[in-house]
Amino acid sequence: MSEVRRAIRRHIESNPGVHFNELARNLGIATGQAQYHLRRLRRAGGLDTAKVRDRTHYFPEGYDPWEQRTIALLRRETVRGIIVAALKEPEPSAADLATDLDVARSTVSWHVSTLVDAGVAEKCYDEHGRSHIRLTRPDETRRLLDEVSPSAPDRLVDRFTRLVDDALLD
């Protein structure tokens, strides 16, 4: 196995759920080179992928599909904030999440829809018809939360979204 391929494998093992662009950027390798070596690693076995919201994420073997989707989503700062809030206070309302995370309600709604589609959370409603979020597997989600943190580019995208939200709300 080439040294580049070994470096890619080690990076994926150390950063489960890393997406393609982040992997190439962190290792300082060209897109074509990353594609070539990832293809070879996938053919050789021991490497899994999950596509979440148009991004391909890479995992060492051993993660089931739900864990893969959850880890991929935990790498996004706003989603991570929603999940952390739902772990601290079961069934937070969408309005409270928007206030606590300082994002537009539509942003919360979009991310909650992503979590629901991934099977990580479900929407529920109170007696007044207000929407709340409930994690489907809170203990497992808490365990996975410790395994990942959002990358710098992911945090920048989330923060840019917040800037746009602020501009639209003013």
The domains located in the chain, with CATH, are 3-62 (1.10.10.10), 70-169 (1.10.10.10)
With b meaning 16 or more CB within 10 Å and e meaning fewer, what string describes 102-114? ebbeebbeebbeb
> For residue range 14-69, what is the model confidence (pLDDT) as tens digits?
999 999 999 999 999 999 999 999 999 999 988 999 999 888 999 999 999 999 99
Beta strands in 9-62 (DSSP E): 18-19, 47-52, 55-60
| The pLDDT of residue 167 | 57
- Higher pLDDT, residue 114 or 162: 114
At 156 the pLDDT is 54
Q: Give the global pTM.
A: 0.80
Residue 5 has pLDDT above 80, yes or no: yes
User: pLDDT tens digit string along 97-153?
Assistant: 999 999 999 999 999 999 999 999 999 998 888 899 999 999 999 999 887 765 555
Instruction: Judge whether residue 155 has pLDDT over 50.
Output: no
114 and 129 in contact (C-beta within 8 Å)?
A: no
